[in-house]
Chains A and B, each alone.
Chain A
Amino acid sequence: MLAVMHQRLMFGMLLFGGIVALIVLRILYLAAFGDHAGRKDALTSLIPDRGDIVDRDGQPLARTIDAWTIAIHPAKIIGSKLDVAHKLAAIMPERTAEQYFAMMKSGRTFFYLRRRAAPDVVAAVNALGEPGLAIQREPDRLYPQTSLAAQVIGYTDVDGRGVAGMERAYDQYLSDPATRGEPLTLSISNRFQQALEHELSAAMTTYSAIGAAGIIMDLHTGEILAMTSLPTLNPNKAGDGSPEARFNRATLGVYELGSTFKPFTVAMAMDSGVVKSFGQMYHCSKELNIYGHTIHDTHPFGRACSVAEIMKESSNIGTALIANQLGAKRQQAFLKKMGFLDPIKVEVRERGRTLTPGSRWGPFETLTVGFGHGIAVTPLHLATGYATLLNGGIYRPATLLKVDARHPVPKGRRVFTEDTSYKMRALLRLVVTQGTGRKADAPGYRIGGKTGTAEKLVGGHYTSAAVVTTFAGVFPMDEPRYVIVTMLDDPKGTAATYGFHTAGWNVAPVVSHTVSRIAPMLGVRPDKNREPNMAEVLSFVHQEPKE
């Protein structure tokens, strides 16, 4: 009897011991791994399905939202399919009732009826009470600023993969769960972008141009603050955009940018010791017959002219003479160092390849390249070139990412001497105060720059009827900080421009208006009493006696 009691007692003790052991183990487990016990990962963090893209001020440019999707499972329709088809046609009139009915009779199991449906449409479809109609939420890419900077931001395909712009260039970063929690911060700013797009768009309409491009860039860091290409598209409906609108003229399009190249030629000549002073004289005849070709000027001097005057009046003949002294080898070496002979270096994949004379780069080609003909580069090439010219002479590739601790300013390479860079300030300011770029001036903001009007090649021949007008400017010229390049493709003359379609008439005012809008936001205070050292050039400019 006693033995039986002992056995029972032992059994009871073992039972209790087992329970206690289980509990202790459970406590130990909670202590060691309790953080994960019963936790729903998806709800404890806010990681979007695709990373955000924001501008330099943190304003969203691209976001993934949960959009409503309406679909249909024809096999699950329980009511009259014809009735459902009629009701669907009334709610979503993009298809007729016959089409809806045909879809239901097709034998397929699933159709998308509408993606990114509006809430009222979703409510109406839901009110039909048909179990065969599926309403669900799925991630969708939204571009809140619609067409703003569309070519820079890019867009995604229906599966959410980036197919253009930064969406494409940083597809991996934006879709990787490890990185997509952190937004991709671009260097562009919504406000500057809007100002540039608005002004360029207005000019494009006024002058009936077929396209336009514009870039605003920080010349010390290479950050692109605004970059646009017109016509543009709405990336929310990228499929509706024309091929012309999808084309990024700023980085992919290459153009002969004409006289905007002349400052480079002068700077190369100064650095090489060919030009020692802005007062150096050249024989600027009415026309120049050289190497079997004839070069003309829009405003021929017909006399000796100084380097300052050559730039002021944008003389092809004068620049050709300087380029002739410079020589092809030195010219190529400088252009190479400036990155003009390579595809543009920038994050987006839509990068244009420079067109050069190549193996035919002889003495005459050197002259034409000197004044911006015979070489086609992207507007972004031109912007980086002006940044190099005026930031002290150091080339840095352009970037569309905000410069900060994670993305520091890249180490540049010297192209021009600091002295040459400094002297170019007054020369470019002269063009705006007294030369061809007077309409680009914005009082107080000390804009300097150069106009360029290049004839387009139509049917293998240059024609003056179609031109590409460009203005490349820098402000404030007494202490250069920002580059602005604007370009109009095939602008037409108007009554207001007296029929002229040159850069000074149509694209230069865009710069004036844009700078007036953005400079205060950039921290550039207008000051009518500040100027670069104009004494360096004014003494070499022949002043016509006043009548």
Chain B
Amino acid sequence: MSAGRSFRSLFMAASCAGAALGCYLVSLRVASERAALEGVETEIVMAQRNLRVLQTELGTRGRLAQLERWNASALSLSAPNADQFLAGSFELARLARPEPEAAIGAPVVLASAPAPASPVLQTTSDELDRAPAPTGTATASFAPRSMMSQASLKTSEKFSQGQSRPGTLINGTREVPANSAAKPSAAGGKSKDQPVTAAKPAKDRSLDMPGLAAAKSTVKAPAKVVLKAAPALAAKPEPKKSVDKPALVAAKPVTKPKQLAKADPLAPLPAKTSGPTRKEPASQR
């Protein structure tokens, strides 16, 4: 008991020393954390200072007077004028409208896209796909899609050459390609009349056929036209058909006149129309 008492004060002193040491360690820890924090703050300030120096240098090198000199010597940019500002999205959209020249060739576009007289269009497209086959002259260019655009192009050329407008205006676009394509076979002024004569077997419908021109270049083509367009009239050109074997094979779709008759003349070019036509040239290609 007495020994315990004698050591009691020693224990107390030791515990006090331990507590003090612990407190001091905490203090050291806090101080070191603070120092680390200050180090980071100092780094931030130094970074800001460097940033400021760099910004200043950049601003000085790229000062407006210098930019103006560069613009005068190299870029030559100028302020936009009043006409370059648009009031809104509507005006912006107007900028994307087709060129005014396209209006001249508008009938051509109409001929190839919609089908005001779908039966005729069907035959013509079919015809066109097949007609060049025997000659093989412009086969590649008569692919259904490319042919349409080519026809348009030729029409505009014709217009520019002063081709008779009334003729083209009858059925717009359809006659025009015929004219243009008729050129190689019929020379001079007669070429104008060529489509009409070629169209005779198919009556006025044939006038509308963009493929007529191609048909003209070979004798066989008009026969096909008749065959496909009007089965009733097929008797007339039939003798000629015999010459054109592949055309006859291709004439299988003749069983489709029903489709032709059913088709809505005001409907746009139906997918069906291009269906068969695509198949044929594919084989030709």
Contacts and interface: CB of A to CB of B under 8 A. Distances in A.
Given A38-B38, A526-B82, A528-B82, A30 B48 contact: no
Say what secondary structure dominates the interface of chain A.
mixed
Contacts of B38: 38-40, 44
B13 to A, nearest CB: 5
A16 interface: yes
Contacts of A23: 20, 23-24, 27
Interface string B199-210: 000000000000
Given A20-B17, A44-B38, A526-B82, A34 B55 contact: no
Closest 6 CB pairs between A and B? A444-B82, A526-B82, A20-B20, A194-B64, A144-B60, A144-B59
A145 B68 CA distance: 12
B81 interface: yes
Contacts of A525: 85
A298 to B, nearest CB: 31
A275 interface: no
Nearest to B26: A27
A65 B52 CA distance: 9
B19 interface: yes
Given A19-B20, A43-B45, A148-B63, 12 more contacts: A13-B16, A16-B16, A24-B23, A30-B27, A46-B45, A60-B56, A65-B53, A144-B59, A147-B65, A190-B64, A191-B64, A526-B82
A56 interface: no
A46 B19 contact: no
Contacts of A24: 20, 23
A198 interface: yes
Contacts of A40: 38, 42
A46 B52 contact: yes
A516 interface: yes
Contacts of B12: 13
10 contacts: A9-B9, A13-B12, A16-B17, A24-B20, A30-B27, A43-B45, A63-B56, A66-B53, A146-B65, A444-B85
A62 to B, nearest CB: 11
A59 interface: yes
Given A23-B20, A148-B63, A190-B64, A9 B10 contact: yes
Interface residues of A, number: 48
B71 to A, nearest CB: 10
Interface in B74-101: 79-83, 85, 87
Contacts of B27: 23, 26-27, 30
- Would you call the interface of chain B mostly helix, strand, loop, or mixed? helix
A302 interface: no
B45 A144 contact: no
Interface of A: 9, 12-13, 16-17, 19-20, 23-24, 26-27, 30, 34, 37-40, 43-46, 59-60, 63, 65-66, 142, 144-148, 190-191, 193-194, 198, 442-445, 516-517, 520, 525-528
A451 B111 CA distance: 62
B236 interface: no
Nearest to A2: B6
Contacts of B20: 16, 19-20, 23-24
Contacts of B87: 527
A294 to B, nearest CB: 44
Contacts of B26: 27
A443 B81 CA distance: 8
Given A16-B13, A526-B82, A44 B64 contact: no
Contact of B59 (A59, A191, A520, A527): A59
A342 B52 CA distance: 42
B194 to A, nearest CB: 53
B193 interface: no
A527 B85 CA distance: 9
A85 B60 CA distance: 33
A212 to B, nearest CB: 16
B230 to A, nearest CB: 59
B68 to A, nearest CB: 6
Contacts of A66: 53
Nearest to B61: A144
